[in-house]
Structure 1
Amino acid sequence: MKQIEKTRIQEQFKEKMDYDELLNCMRCGFCLPSCPTYIESGQDEAHSPRGRIALMKGVVDGIIEPDDDVKRSLDMCLGCRACEPVCPADVNYGHLLEQARDIIYQNKKTSMPVKALRRVVFNDLFPHPNRMIGVTGVLGFYQRTGMQKVVHKSGFMKLFPDSLQSMEKVLPKVASKKEMKNRPRHFEAIAPQKKKVAFFSGCLMDTMFLETNNSTTKLLQYAGCEIVVPSSQACCGALHGHGGEKDKAKQMAKRNIAAFEDAEVDYIITNAGGCGAFLVDYDHLLKDDVEWKQRAEDFSKKIKDVTSVLVELDFHKQPLSLDGQIITYQDSCHLKNGQKTFMEPRTLLESIEGSTYVEMKDAGRCCGSAGIYNIVESEMSMQILDYKMEQTKATNAKTVVTTNPGCLLQMKIGIEREGFSDQVQAVHIVDLLLEAYERAHTVTE
């Protein structure tokens, strides 16, 4: 890193970092056992929450240069925020991490290929739903035409890292462009109406995982919800916020707030833990914007994970049934640590008759997905995943349930790598609950 870049970054750290929040860290070490990168790096303090906070503070104080080692430490962080619930001082580590990354990435020159890739991802693709549909549609074409089989037979995929080879195999079957473009925007409650809600459909969830979105709306209808799906909503901005593009994240936030403001609903429902946690944080993201501060607070108060509203509406007390199988659950870090939603998924899973729920050891420890972490930090990601698969196998579960698309793909990768994809499945909780509900009601009606 050039000296001029270091100087600029250090100045920005002094100007923008929340110094009071940095001082809140008491260096007690309660966060260490909860941090996957600290554990997997052989207890390297540079890869722990308190170590990273110490580096940030050192840069602000002028004691430490913001060199490549500092950047590497911050890049290695999963951003899982598992350190926050165990912190006795309630340090908002996630906010500090996002601010530090934003300063570094906005002031450090990158190579042309990296710069081009970031521009395509952050500017040209995720903010534009129609482009997301177009790109995902190409994937669907690749799957449906037999090209995927040809590529596999040719050995072309062997040119890529093992983790990407596994990911390509476990990607869900993508809907057609027509299905993605013509999704309904309003759903009447099937059961007697209890709530009117809006659905945050997301970008990847409404393209690559469209079937799971369809399951979500159907479940909410069965639970007694009228649903509206605003057409002007877009990507939540989490990828931007976590990836050092905070201004673009703010643009996404404003677009989504405006999209939902006139909906007049009880809740705004999400089915992706990572999206939900970032949406809940819009009030912090826009806290310094006079025009948007109150609007962001009003928006954030309405965000609710689908599992929370289902439990609130006593969906778990309805008949739910599956053939005998052992089920276990892998927490979404951001659902648990960001949205503080822990018991609701378990309550729903435990209510399914004919199945046995087994709690996984360290279910709340990150699986190593973390957005695009499993691509850019593949070695550490797979190391973390290996531990997760050990705990999965110990449950003897045939079904691993998740509440976030990244976690779902990561667990599918783990199952593929372990070689038991013919014995164990990973599913999103709403897909499993819909199957359990419809099976029970087909039998009883």
Structure 2
Amino acid sequence: MSNAQAHLMRKSFVTHVDENRLMDCMRCGFCLPACPTYIHSDYDETQSPRGRIALMKAVRDGVVEWDGSIEEAFDLCLGCRACEPACPAGVQYGTLIEETREAVLSVKSQSLKEKAIRKGAFDHLFADQRKMKTAVKLVTFYQKSGLQKVVRKVGFLELFPPFMKEMEKSLPDPPKKRRKLALSIEKKTTVAFFAGCLMDTMFRETNRNTIELLNRLGCEVVIPKNQQCCGALQGHSGEMDRARRNAKANVEAFDLDGIDYIVNNAGGCGAFLFEYDRLFENDPALLPLAQQFVEKQIDISSLLVKLGIIDELLKQPTAEATEIVTYQDSCHLRNVNGVKDEPRELLKAVKGSLFVEMPGAHLCCGSAGVYNLLQPEMASRILGSKMEEVKKVQATTIITTNPGCLLQMKVGVEKEGLSGTTRAMHVVDFIYEKMIGKNGGK
């Protein structure tokens, strides 16, 4: 990098990366054992939150000159934010890494390919739910038409990187036709459902199960039109202006005065929705609306517990435990929203299964949005470690609360040759199966 470019990078860091947030870090090191990339890079300090913050400050202060090794340190960050609950000083690391990526993106020259990918993904696919649904329809056609079998048979997938082949094997089944169930009891709660982009397309069956469970517990569920992708993928990639665009559309799409809660069933989305007020802290016109939006947020496992589903599960007929169930935390659900007990309470209440805590369940599985596509080597290393923990507890069912985690664990099951004995499921689908049955609602 030339001196002129290095000067521009430093200036960009001064503009985008908040110095006060950097100074919150006391260099105590409590974050180190919580960081997956630090652990899986043979304890390389530059791959830790403390090390990355030191690099941010050094670039901002002009102490070090930007180069490829510094960029790699930031690129390898999962953004799981496990360092935040571990930090006694309350360092806002998630905000700092997003500010850093925005600073880099504003200066670094992008190839035509990267520009096209970003524009296609963030201005079209994840900015227009109709386009997302069209894309998923193509995937569904690929699965149902027989094309998938042909592609696998002729070995066409061998042309792709190993991780892409594993992801293809882990695609969720197309949604099935079903009839809508009526409210089981008198309506007592009005809930607005944040349907999400991936959840309302690739995981549409889970969304349907979510709505039916809420109906069964006495919720009237409304699904506001014009809601968009939450903006998490944009924000985590340094595209903060695009993230704010989606956030603005969402806070304006919901009738906040007419609902009790805004519920979501994707941990990564829920964490970003939970921090919408931070996106508009410098926008006095939108900030009050964003704050009201945030106050209504709740994730599906927390709402199910609040609505009394534990009692409903305990009323189910007693059955012999025939499966061992374990739980993989959604990083953002745990580290940002602070939700860790509710999913476990649900699983412990299910009859006919034995819940076993997985060692290291709080550590990231390596999915992290699109991290497993951009950093396949580190993602694979982390996933391999995670699957060893799955084997230790001899789990037959792995439960997650986020679509990316679910796909990642499905990939892990395939890689380890466990597909005949182990399955990965969203917590909603598991609870639905136990309460209503695999064929319920059809």
Instruction: Output the CA distance in 1 between the equivalents of 2:282 and 2:93.
Output: 19
Cα displacement (A) at 1:320: 4.3
* C-alpha deviation, 1:223, in angstroms: 1.6
The separation in 1 between residues aligned to 2:5 and 2:187, in whole angstroms, is 58
* Alignment map for 1:212-291 (pairs within 5 Å): 212-262=206-256, 264-291=258-285
Does structure 2 conserve the Cα–Cα contact (< 8 Å) formed by 1:83 and 1:93? yes
Partner secondary structure for residue 258 of structure 2: coil
Per-residue CA shift, 1:116-154, capped at 9, x if unaligned? 111111112110111001111110111111111111111
Q: 1:430 aligns with which of 406, 428, 431?
A: 428
Moved more, 397-406 or 218-227: 218-227
Q: For residues 129 and 375 of structure 1, what CA distance do their matches in structure 2 show?
A: 22
Structure 1 position 205, deviation (Å): 0.5
8 A Cα contact 2:256 2:293, kept in partner? no
Residue equivalent to 1:308: 302
Q: After the TM superposition, which of the residue ranges 220-229 and 380-389 deviates more from structure 2?
A: 220-229
Alignment partner of 2:286 out of 289, 292, 296: 292
1:182-197 to 2 correspondences below 5 Å: 189-197=183-191
Q: Shift of residue 183 of structure 1?
A: 11
Q: Normalization by structure 1: what TM-score?
A: 0.95
Query: Deviations along 1:384-415, whole A, 9 cap, x unmatched?
Result: 00000000011111000000000000000000
Question: Quick one: distance in 1 between partners of 2:8 and 2:179?
Answer: 47
Aligned-partner Cα distance in 1 for 2:194–2:182: 17
Structure 2 match to 1:64: 64
How many matched pairs?
436
Contact 2:265 2:299 in 1 (8 A): yes
The aligned amino acid for 2:336 is G
Give, in whole Å, the separation in 2 of the partners of 1:272 and 1:344.
Answer: 14
CA distance, structure 2, for counterparts of residue 206 and residue 361 of structure 1: 31
Note the alpha carbon deviations across 1:44-93, whole angstroms, 9 max, x for none.
11110000000011111111223222221111000000000010001010
* Equivalent of residue 324 in structure 2, options 313, 323, 326: 326
Q: CA deviation at 1:175?
A: 3.9
Partner SS state of residue 86, structure 2 = coil
Structure 2 distance, partners of 1:266, 1:188, is 20
CA distance in structure 1 between the aligned counterparts of 2:257 and 2:146, rounded to whole angstroms: 42
What amino acid is the match of 1:31?
C
Q: Distance in 1 between matches of 2:416 and 2:386?
A: 11
Paired AA for residue 14 in structure 2: K
Give the deviation of 1:189 after TM superposition: 3.8
- The AA in structure 1 aligned to 2:189 is K
Name the SS of the counterpart of 1:268 in structure 2. Answer: strand
Aligned match of 1:98: 98
Does residue 361 of structure 2 align to residue 370 of structure 1? no
Partners of 2:357 and 2:419 lie apart in 1 by: 21
1:103-182 alignment, distance < 5 Å: 103-175=103-175
Does the C-alpha gap of structure 1 residues 149 and 193 become closer, same or farther in structure 2, counting only changes over 3 Å?
same
Question: Are 2:376 and 1:382 equivalent residues in the alignment?
Answer: no
On the 8 A contact 2:17/2:103 being kept in 1, the answer is no
Question: What is the rounded CA distance, in whole Å, between the counterparts of 2:96 and 2:182 in structure 1?
Answer: 42
Q: What CA distance in whole angstroms lies between the structure 2 residues aligned with 1:191 and 1:408? A: 32
- Whole-angstrom CA distance in 1 between matches of 2:341 and 2:46: 33
Secondary structure of 2:399's counterpart equals strand
Unaligned runs of 5+ residues in structure 2 are none
Question: In the TM superposition, what whole-angstrom CA distance separates every residue of 1:153-190 from its partner, at most 9, and x where no partner exists?
Answer: 111111112111110011012349xx8xx999xx9743
Q: In structure 1, what is the Cα distance between the partners aligned to 2:339 and 2:160? A: 36
Matches of 2:43 and 2:256, distance apart in 1 = 50
| Whole-angstrom CA distance in 1 between matches of 2:183 and 2:11 | 55
Q: CA deviation at 1:262?
A: 4.9
Percent pairwise identity: 48
Query: Which deviations, in whole Å up to 9, do the C-alpha atoms of 1:334-374 show, x marking residues without a partner?
Result: 11001110000000000001210000001010000000000
**Conserved 8 A contact 1:228-1:263:** no
**Compared with structure 1, are the counterparts of its residues 183 and 365 closer, same or farther at alpha carbon in structure 2 (3 Å cutoff)?**
farther
The one-letter amino acid of 1:162's match is P
SS of match in other structure, 2:114: helix
TM-superposed deviation, 1:2: 4.3
Per-residue deviation, residues 229-271 of structure 1 (Å, max 9, x unmatched): 0011010000000011000000000000000135611110000
Output aligned runs, 1:335-354, within 5 Å: 335-354=333-352
Query: 1:427 and 1:320 mapped to 2: Cα distance?
Result: 20
Contact 1:320/1:439 (<8 A) preserved: no
SS of 1:308's partner is: helix
1:183–1:367 distance in 2 versus 1, CA, 3 Å: farther
* One-letter amino acid matched to 2:145: T
Shift of 1:15: 2.2
- What's the offset of the Cα at 1:18? 1.4
**Secondary structure of the residue that 1:84 maps to in structure 2?**
helix
Structure 1 distance, partners of 2:91, 2:255, is: 31
Q: Distance in 1 between matches of 2:316 and 2:74?
A: 44
1:285 to partner: Cα distance: 1.1
Aligned mates of 2:384, 2:188 — CA distance in 1: 43
Does residue 411 (structure 1) correspond to residue 405 (structure 2)? The answer is: no
Query: How far apart in 1 are the matches of 2:189 and 2:160?
Result: 48
User: Which residue identity is paired with 1:365?
Assistant: L
Query: Are the counterparts in 1 of residues 16 and 102 from structure 2 also a CA contact under 8 Å?
Result: no
